[in-house]
């Protein structure tokens, strides 16, 4: 790991350290999800904080935006996201009969970067 000082703390240094070439394809695929009309966009926005969120919470928030969402639709969307990214991008946990979802710790910052750049470009 490189040492930081105020002189070399710039975008090129950050990209060299944190933006690994193997993540480039995943980053591009995450950016493709960023269509404003897509419920997948809302699901990822909810999960950007890196915490576990219940299935009911995700469905309730997504219904406010799109008017349609059920457990089957949510599970299909999450499996499609994982299939398209070919990773365990979204994790699933069952606790006391309730299903919880979370972004994988390896991809939280990458997803935040994709969404931040997307919002900056859209404005």
Higher pLDDT, 18 or 83: 83
Q: CA 113, CA 115: separation in Å to the nearest integer?
A: 6
State residue 6's pLDDT score: 53
pLDDT at 26 over 80: no
State residue 7's pLDDT score: 54
Q: What is the pLDDT of residues 72-91, one digit of tens each?
A: 988 988 888 888 877 788 89
Taking residues 15-20, what's their average pLDDT?
Answer: 60
Q: Which two tokens stand for residue 19?
A: 């933006």
Q: H helices of 1-123, where?
A: 11-18, 24-33, 39-47, 55-66, 71-85, 108-122
Domains of the chain: residue spans and CATH: 20-122 (1.10.10.10)
């Amino acid at each position: 790991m490189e040492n930081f000082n105020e002189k070399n703390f710039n975008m090129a240094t950050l990209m060299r350290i944190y933006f690994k070439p193997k993540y480039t394809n995943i980053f591009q695929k995450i950016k493709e999800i960023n269509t404003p009309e897509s419920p997948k966009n809302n699901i990822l926005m909810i999960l950007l904080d890196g915490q576990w969120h219940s299935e009911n919470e995700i469905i309730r928030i997504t219904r406010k935006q799109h008017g349609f969402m059920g457990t089957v639709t949510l599970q299909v969307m999450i499996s499609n996201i994982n299939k398209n990214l070919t990773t365990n991008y979204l994790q699933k946990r069952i606790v006391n009969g309730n299903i919880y979802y979370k972004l994988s710790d390896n991809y939280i910052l990458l997803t935040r970067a994709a969404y931040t750049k997307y919002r900056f470009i859209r404005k």
